[in-house]
Amino acid sequence: MKQRCRSEQEEKLVQIGEPATSTYWKSLEERRNGPHFTAEFPGGLPQLNGAGAGEPTRRGFLGMMGFSLAAVGLSGCRGPVQNAIPLLVGSDDITPGVANYYATTCRGCASSCSLVVKQRDGRPIKIEGNAESTLFGNGTCATGQATVLSLYDDARFRGPVWRGQPAKWDELDQRVLDSLVEARAGHRKVALLSSTINSPSTLRIIAQFSQQHPNFTHVMYDPASYSGIRAANASSFGRAVIPHYAFDKARVIVGLEADFLGTWLSPVEFARQYAAARRPEGSPSLHVQFESGLSVTGSNADVRIPIAPSELGAIAVALLRRVARKAGVTGVSEGKEFFSDAQKLDAVADELWKHRGESLVVSGVNDVSIQTVVNALNWFLGNIGKTVDLTQPSLQRTGDDSAMAELVEAMNRGEIHTLIVYGVNPAYDYSDSQHFLEGLDKVSLSVSLSDRPDETSSRVHAICPDHHFLEAWGDAEPVASVFSLAQPLIAPLFETRAAQETLLRWAGDPEPNYYTYIREFWRKNLYPVQKTFDSFDAFWDRSLQDGVAVIPSGTVAHLPRLQGDWTEAAQTILQGEEQAARNDDRYELHFYESVALRDGRHANNPWLQELPDPISKVTWGNYAAVAPALANRLGLSEGEVVRLKTARGQIELPVFIQPGQHARTISIAVGYGRTLVGKAGRNVGVNVFPLTSMAAGLRTYSIRDVALEKTGKTDLLAGTQSHFSMEGRPIVLETTLKELKQGGETGENKKALPTLWAEQLHGEHSWGMSIDMNACTGCSACVVACQAENNVPVVGKDQVQRQRVMHWIRIDQYYSGPEDNPVSVHQPMMCQHCQNAPCETVCPVLATTTSSEGLNQQVYNRCIGTRYCANNCPYKVRRFNWYNYTDNPDFDFNMASPLGRMVLNPDVVVRSRGVMEKCSLCVQRIQLAKNLALQGKREVAEADIQTACQQACPTQAIVFGDLKDPNSRVSKLRQDPRHYEVLEDLGVRPNVGYLKKVRNPMSNV
Amino acid sequence: MTNTGNTFVVATFSDPEALLRGVKALRAEDFRVWDVYAPYPIHGLDDAMGVRRSRLPWITFLAGLGAMTGALALQFYTNIWDWSLNVGGKPDNSTLAFVPVTFELTVLIGGLSTVAAFLFRTRLFPGKTERLAAEGITDDKFALVLRKRTADVARAMKILEVSGAETIEQKAMEL
Amino acid sequence: MSAVRAIHGPVKIVPSESQVLPETRLVEGRPTLHEITSGIAHPLESRPGKAWWICLALAVAALLNLGGMVAYLVGKGVGIWGLNNSVGWAFDITNFVFWVGIGHAGTLISAILLLFRQQWRTSINRSAEAMTIFAVMCAGMFPAIHMGRPWDAFFIFPYPNQRGPLWINFRSPLVWDVFAISTYLTISLVFWYLGMIPDLATMRDRTKDPVKKFIFRILSLGWNGSHRTWSRYEVVSLILAGLATPLVLSVHSVVSMDFATSVIPGWHTTIFPPYFVAGAIYSGFGMVLMLLILTRQTMHLQRYITLVHLDKMAKVTLLTGMIVSYAYMTEFFNAWYGGNLYERYHFINRATGPYAWCFYFMVLCNVVTPQILWFKKARTNVALLFIVSILVNIGMWFERFVIIVVSLHRTFLPSAWGMFYPTKYDVGILIGSFGLFFTCFLIFIRVLPMIAMWEIKGVVAHSEHERALGSDAAARAVAGD
């Protein structure tokens, strides 16, 4: 199934019965210690060995029976595919019951994070971050974590389709080739419309394709566009790129409507940098955020200033004016200030100036003028080349709005003969999708490479489904000269074909093989450049094993200089402000990508649909976020449906009252309201992409001059949290940086509460956890990671409305301060594994007790479901199976279909109806690590065990370890001055501790 | 009170007072009253007939004592000796927590064994055919019964008559 | 013979108008023993009236509904109720505590009042005990069906098994519940049956119908009214009464510990045991009042269930009502005086939160309503008492609802706060439990003597005896002059 290694030494290994997978490592440990680690079953099949090979025990026999059944079933579900070895034949890579880990690259979005994917019995079942990656560390995001479920999506195409009818690949290829010939003959255009592509080999294939077809155009299109930044950089620095930002080098960060911790550009990477730069132990950076809706980023800022989208430009200019003044540069007219709070801006400007060269101004707004002003700001602050890297730019978004617009026009003019749509869905997410569809009808042959139905693929002639990325080879270059490889984790489930091979085929290659192509590409283009390896095989194997390769391109680009006319940009903004009408009962709409669904391509992923929004905690749908003040003024209540009338049409949405929302701005998430996507995502929420518009060749994600009227209807939102005030309880404790530096009252001197009873004897471990409230950004990657690892069921909107969400880890959101601009905190909350657990005492049947290793364990098959334990849990982290959530038509999500159930983790039992469940601190991972250590005849090392949530966390906020071991990180953190336990005074003595949130208020704001 | 083929002297009354008088009078002359049959317990008759105090309370006490020890033993054995788990960090020996169950079992066993003993001693069991001394005993009649063996039947009958018996007859039957 | 009779005429138990019973008129008029028998046996021997049939029809309808809904519950899952992650118990356990409470009056009347030699209990204790048993049956149903996996309910018994050491948690109040409730049910049942044996014998000897005779013969265990048996019988009754008295107090104390031993604000309270017992007696007497008023009107038993009984029960209701009210005040005082953050918030929430209306309705029923019973006029006004008794029961149901749901819906972490909204299954099963209860009771009053004949006879004769002694004393006094 994987590529195999052909070197001498590998062959020898195979002969002596070693798995031939020494290039694949199962854990960092193994990577360091070499392949011998895979020599034995980590699980150790004790029964079989114990009973001696001669007489297998009953359990052993049943175990083997069970496996062989599973194996037969699995192997039966697909025929042999090139480069894949079906389980029927058996594979050295796969030891039954033992997971393998392979490095690959995420294609959940174009950020192209490096991944390590857990593969169990031939099935990828868990996405993990790749610690080898210099960019992303071992972090992942919620979307990335959920992509593994999209692989097992029932909605996926089973094979190629011609005009709605299943077809053969050859037949389709022939039709397309004919059409291409016809196009060439008629000198008509052939267009490839794709999302951002940063895979060098794929770009090469497309180039090859264009050589075959002279009048060929390739248009890249991102529904959430960044081309404003590229355009601005083109004019300011002569480079149409998105710079590579370094938030970790910045001491002062000013964000202008850029949710860089949630969804913007490369959130995993940025969150990692951000957290690193804000550790209270050092001197944490200052973060000022100007934004209209409360975003994940804004909720973490030291200073957050709510603004209307229309004010953004004015603020940028005002900042530039101040900074320019300090820099002694003239050119920004001393016009009138449109943003009221002048001294705030002064303070921000001072801070920026104070940290010249180690500050950073970023803006996510897709507007050339504003981005130009931001460029000028960074230039005068000397950040170019320091925190803003233009020489090694980011290639994570390369879409071009104007090119897209031009293509749509061309289609409507009937110039496009053949259109190939690859990885985009403009019929849903283009600002003028109707216009696009009209154009599409004028195309004589339209082909979609989409691997599952969407609004666009339903309208094309031919569907040539691509693999899911976990089935495919691939490479990527997210940031210039940082490469990463992707390899298949499973043979294609259906009759799909890699898009690259499809393109190669149409470029004339009769027997396309993307694997060999990519290998050759790396041999020709990357191997020569790199210095470390002297044989290509070594280079390739290592790159494939690590998944990433940093290959600095020989040429050192010179530092760019600010050249474009930024004063003009400032002027345009100010003129715009002059004309802008201010009217109190006219509002502005601001559209944003939600952390879960992003641009909507993952809408059919039930995990993401049920992922509570990090801020509002609402699941299953989008809403109109309005400020409390506005709600009071208009008498709006939550869930009340309002009609929003704009120049581009009107929509109806339920209201959510969002503290910190700008008073005159209403924020709405894009990505909802998909109509053709599959069961889970169909008609969830409302599609607001049609309200976005094109202005000056750029996609704008806000509208002014919007009227709001009530409809009298209500549409109850499915929120997982209804009360956001801490009521002055010791739940999230805070301290200030000053206090912390002085030592203050916080500290080790704090005595533990006395306990009534003698300490219970424990085994050799006492597992515990520590969660850094300062590092947690609320990104929610851990929630999905836990769901994937522990087979947590999806329950659907109705059940969430009934407050029956099943997540084992939730992230509590609390506000304090004024509701128009509150301070917010995110608190991951899961079973606290109390040593004096109230839940245990009340269970009549001893279904929950404290293990000899300090875990509060739940025995499912003993539980009779009295729910007494959940009632008596102070943290309310226990989850009850109100219904049977598996294989139950009433809950038609992934667990209801055989395909969807392939994602289940065999190491974690699927709970039956009527039993209680909760966080187990990933006891299955603990057990595995202990077995491995046992066979390695060594102690369990701290690095051996990472809980799913810890592994997924991009900011390393979660630390798991052994409290018995005084040198473990978690034990040390228990001694940290910031350490505290939630509701400590109850005396339940949790093994899960927290580190206080550290506030670093800006002195003069 | 089953013994076969005895002849009894049965005097019936409508007035418990009269019956009481009769019993006292008979006892005064050392007649042994075989038994009295009444629709309800007549107060003072115990002394009059010289019925000894029942020993049933002892049964209750012993059974209760046994149950208590048993219950405590069960709980100590199951929760401490046989299957000692860390439940909410509580010490193994949470004797206080064992009190309620111990109490309930004591009451249960004590009560049931008392009733069982009563039924056994009075030879009452389901489906037993009743042996009535006279008509309407369970309604409004009272009967005073002597055994024929009693020395001077005539005397006895006289006393009964005097004390206000409504009917006095001798019959052979099983009681 | 005749001469003798001339001298000692048979004493008629029909004294002249001047010599009336002591003023406690526990039995109206002065029936002969036979009249008592036939009077009480009458309902068993006559055809039931229309009223009874209507009541039975309603009750059975509700019972069928219960059956259907429980079947659906077991088939589907507890999810059909309105419960959620924050509120794990609501109607289910509320009904459980409610019914257990109802079940307290019976044993109290038959046991404690027996020990206190309260003769007025005689004509009501049988039906009160029956009510107890049916109520406890209803109560016992809920812990079983509220489980996520009712088919595994037997797990909570400490039975020896082959799964290696596998026992139950004797530290869990739920286990205490299981033992308390089952003991209580058994002992009450035995006590009730034992008390009925003589009357069953009476029925056996009365009835002509061979089938009935056969059944009554089996049930009456061959009782023949032997005084030697009677004297042991009274001893046993006393012993059972002595055992049942602490038992009845323990049962609701144990139930209250389900809550008192937890950590949840609003549950974690030391005054719960006495408070719950008082509440139980309060609701129990409410229910007894209601039933007795119903039966005495429909079964024409005014003669045996007199205003004296109603008056005395009203007094007990008033007393326990006052205790309950006091407990409410104490809770609030403790919350304020104890100064515990969460406790304090809970009681503010109880009085001002989303469920405040339940709280005030409860206060209206349990604190305000009984105050009217200070007045003798009210205590002897049957219609009024009936209304009061119903209000008392509703109020006590709401008390349990407030304690359980209002405490659970807002606990320590505000992030986990939620609301409970009952579904039609919550309500349906509550109504159904009443169906079960009334079906049992209605059948009971048709097929079994609902008043203890032998005890009534004893009381009547006893008061005759007293009267006799009294008049003798008077005579002697006259002679003394």
For residue C63, the SS3 value is: helix
- Whether B118 and chain C come into contact, CB under 8 Å, resolves to yes
Chains interfacing with B (3 or more CB pairs < 8 Å)? A, C
Which residues in chain C are contacts of B1 at CB distance < 8 A?
226, 228
Which residues in chain C are contacts of B36 at CB distance < 8 A?
226-227
pLDDT exceeds 80 at position A705: yes
Nearest CA to B30 out of B144, B125, B139, B156 is that of B156
- Window from A902-906, B149-153, C261-265 with minimum mean pLDDT: B149-153
Q: Cβ(C79)–Cβ(C148) under 8 Å?
A: no
Distance from CA of B87 to the nearest CA of A (A): 5
Are C243 and B137 within 8 A, CB to CB?
A: no
State in Å, rounded, how far the first CA of chain C is from the last one: 38
Which residues in chain B are contacts of A838 at CB distance < 8 A?
88
Query: What is the structure's pLDDT at A6?
Result: 37
Mean pLDDT for A259-276 is 94
- Whether A458 and chain B come into contact, CB under 8 Å, resolves to no
Residue of A nearest to C151 (CA): A864
- Window from A55-69, A850-864, B82-96, C209-223 with minimum mean pLDDT: A55-69
What's the pLDDT band for A81 if we cut at 50, 70, 90? very low
- Higher-pLDDT residue of C24, C383: C383
Structure tokens that stand for B136 in this block: 């309407």
pLDDT exceeds 50 at position C257: yes
Are A850 and B90 within 8 A, CB to CB?
A: no
Query: What is the structure's pLDDT at A508?
Result: 87
Tell me how far apart the alpha carbons of residues A862 and A845 are, in angstroms, rounded to a whole number.
7
Which residues in chain C are contacts of A839 at CB distance < 8 A?
none
Mean pLDDT for C14-33 is 53
Tell me how far apart the alpha carbons of residues B91 and B89 are, in angstroms, rounded to a whole number.
7
Q: Cβ(C223)–Cβ(C200) under 8 Å?
A: yes
Query: What is the structure's pLDDT at A792?
Result: 96
- Torsion sign over Cα A454, A460, A465, A466: negative
Q: Which residue has the tokens 């407050």?
A: A803
Query: What is the structure's pLDDT at A756?
Result: 77
What's the pLDDT band for A745 if we cut at 50, 70, 90? low
Chains interfacing with C (3 or more CB pairs < 8 Å)? A, B
Query: What is the structure's pLDDT at A1004?
Result: 53
pLDDT exceeds 90 at position C5: no
Which residues in chain A are contacts of C414 at CB distance < 8 A?
723-727, 729, 731, 814
- Higher-pLDDT residue of C111, B87: B87
Mutate to test the interface with C, among B137, B139, B158, B166 (most CBs of C within 10 A): B139
Distance from CA of A829 to the nearest CA of C (A): 10
Q: What is the pLDDT of residues B33-68, one digit of tens each?
A: 888 999 988 888 888 888 888 899 999 999 999 999
What's the pLDDT band for B16 if we cut at 50, 70, 90? confident
Distance from CA of C366 to the nearest CA of B (A): 29
Tell me how far apart the alpha carbons of residues A780 and A958 are, in angstroms, rounded to a whole number.
12
pLDDT exceeds 70 at position A10: no
Residue of C nearest to A805 (CA): C85
Are A728 and C341 within 8 A, CB to CB?
A: yes
Are A836 and B88 within 8 A, CB to CB?
A: yes
What's the pLDDT band for A77 if we cut at 50, 70, 90? very low
Q: Report the run of H or E that residue B74 belongs to, with start and end.
A: helix B56-76
Mean model confidence pLDDT for chain A: 87
Q: Which residue has the tokens 């001072």?
A: A350
Residue of B nearest to A851 (CA): B86
Across A137-279, the runs of DSSP E, i.e. the strands, are: 161-162, 165-166, 189-194, 216-220, 242-245, 252-256
Are A844 and C418 within 8 A, CB to CB?
A: no
Which residues in chain B are contacts of C462 at CB distance < 8 A?
43
Give buried/exposed letters for A104-119 (b at 16+ CB in 10 A, else e): bbbbbbbbbbbbbbbb
Q: Cβ(A917)–Cβ(A860) under 8 Å?
A: yes
Q: What is the pLDDT of residues C286-309, one digit of tens each?
A: 998 898 888 888 777 777 788 888
Are C8 and B162 within 8 A, CB to CB?
A: yes
Distance from CA of B57 to the nearest CA of C (A): 7
Between chain A and chain C, the number of residue pairs with CB atoms below 8 A apart is 162
Across-strand partners of A186?
A: none
Q: From residue A610, give the alpha-carbon distance in Å to each of A627, A672, A997, C76.
A: 24, 13, 28, 23
Residue A924 backbone phi and psi in degrees, to 5? -65, -35
For residue C146, the SS3 value is: coil
Mean pLDDT for A662-670 is 94
What's the pLDDT band for C109 if we cut at 50, 70, 90? confident
pLDDT exceeds 80 at position A37: no
Q: Cβ(C128)–Cβ(C110) under 8 Å?
A: yes
- Whether C339 and chain A come into contact, CB under 8 Å, resolves to no
- Whether B130 and chain C come into contact, CB under 8 Å, resolves to yes
Distance from CA of A925 to the nearest CA of B (A): 23
State percent of chain A over pLDDT 90. Answer: 72
Q: From residue A412, give the alpha-carbon distance in Å to each of A191, A213, A436, A446, A459.
A: 13, 21, 8, 13, 15
Work out the number of other CB atoms within 10 angstroms of the CB of residue B119.
Answer: 17
Q: Which residue has the tokens 């039930």?
A: A606
CB proximity under 8 Å: B 68-107 to C = 74-75, 78-79, 82-83, 87-88, 90, 94, 97-98, 100-101, 103-105, 107
Which residues in chain A are contacts of C142 at CB distance < 8 A?
none
Residue of B nearest to A763 (CA): B86
Tell me how far apart the alpha carbons of residues B109 and B102 are, in angstroms, rounded to a whole number.
11
Are C416 and A879 within 8 A, CB to CB?
A: no
Which residues in chain A are contacts of C342 at CB distance < 8 A?
729
Give buried/exposed letters for C237-256 (b at 16+ CB in 10 A, else e): bbbbbbbbbebbbbbbbbbb
CB-based burial label for A797 (10 Å; 0-12, 13-18, 19+)? middle
CB proximity under 8 Å: B 131-170 to A = none
Query: What is the structure's pLDDT at A14?
Result: 34
Are B88 and A839 within 8 A, CB to CB?
A: yes
- Whether C272 and chain B come into contact, CB under 8 Å, resolves to no
Q: Are strands A810-816 and A823-829 parallel, antiparallel or unpaired?
A: antiparallel
Which residues in chain B are contacts of C198 at CB distance < 8 A?
39-40, 138
Tell me how far apart the alpha carbons of residues C267 and A959 are, in angstroms, rounded to a whole number.
35
Distance from CA of C451 to the nearest CA of A (A): 40
- Whether C338 and chain A come into contact, CB under 8 Å, resolves to no
Are A841 and B87 within 8 A, CB to CB?
A: yes
pLDDT exceeds 50 at position C384: yes
Are C239 and B114 within 8 A, CB to CB?
A: yes
CB-based burial label for A705 (10 Å; 0-12, 13-18, 19+)? middle
Contact partners, residue A806, CB within 8 Å, separation at least 6? A792, A793, A794, A795, A879, A881, A885, A917
- Window from A78-87, A732-741, B165-174 with minimum mean pLDDT: A78-87
Which residues in chain C are contacts of B37 at CB distance < 8 A?
224-227
Which residues in chain B are contacts of C256 at CB distance < 8 A?
none
